Structure formats: C-alpha cells, structure tokens
Amino acid sequence: MQEIISIRTDCQNGLYDITSKIKQMVAKSGIYTGIVNVYVQGATAAIMIQENWDESVQNDVLNLLRKLIPAGIWQHDYQDNNGDAHLKSGLIGPSETIPIINGTLGLSTWQNIFLCEFDGPRESRNIIVTLIETGK
C-alpha cells in the first residue's frame, strides 16, 4: 500500500509533526506486522523521528542545525541561495522506516515523525508513505 501526503509549510526552517497522518494510514491498512517507510521528495527537506513532548526539542534541533550549517557561506548559494538547506536535508536524510507491531506504529511514547523543512515556505511537500506487510 502506498499513499502520498501533501504538506504546506509556512516557514523557512521548521519541523512539522506528521505522526497522526501515518497512524491513520497504518490503521486503515489493516497490517498487523510490517513496516512503514516515510520518504519526502525534494533535496531541501528531510524526515526525522524526534520527541514531541513540547517544542523545546524541535527548537533545539533547528538551532543546532543553524549553528552547524549557517546560511550564506556555501558554493551553492551562488546558484539558489539555499546551500544550507541542501546540507541540512542531506545530514538528516529523506526517510525513516518504522515497524508496525500489533497493528500500530512501533514508536515509543516520546517519538513522533516530523517533516523537516529547510527551504520554505512551500505550497506543497510530497511525502510518500509505503506500508509493507511482513507477516501474519
């Protein structure tokens, strides 16, 4: 089973919690044991599993990336002025794979799935969600 989620982003750098959408897909699929792969299209976005208890961890992630990969100093900035976005997305990566256990996402209490936007705002970010049944 495969579906595409489209997310509108409203800031240049931000984390967007997409966990509830993925949980709905798993429930709808009827898969009891398997995996779900969450993949974002685009070279300036990423997928991350992180805590969502409050916004402090999300803010810390963005602040760390700003310190590690500052804007405006990369060769690619001469073409598109978004060299940092490419580097951030490459560091985090475009996908995560999560087990489906007893019909639910195998995330711990504090884990959520985030779309990471590094070159926004964007009218649409497409996230491809692939569910695979591995057993009965």
Residue 135 pLDDT class (50, 70, 90 cuts): confident
- For residue 55, the enclosing domain spans 2-135
> Residue 74, Cα to own-chain centre: how many angstroms?
24
**What residues are paired with 97 via a beta bridge?**
37
8 Å CB contact between 129 and 38: yes
Average pLDDT over residues 5-30: 97
Tell me what percent of the chain is helix, strand and coil, each rounded to the nearest 5: 30, 40, 30
The number of folded domains in the chain is: 1
Which CATH number belongs to the domain containing residue 90 in this structure?
2.60.120.460
DSSP helix/strand/coil, 10: coil
Per-residue pLDDT reduced to its tens digit, 66-108: 999 999 999 998 999 999 999 999 999 999 999 999 999 999 9
E strand or H helix at 113, and its extent? strand 111-117
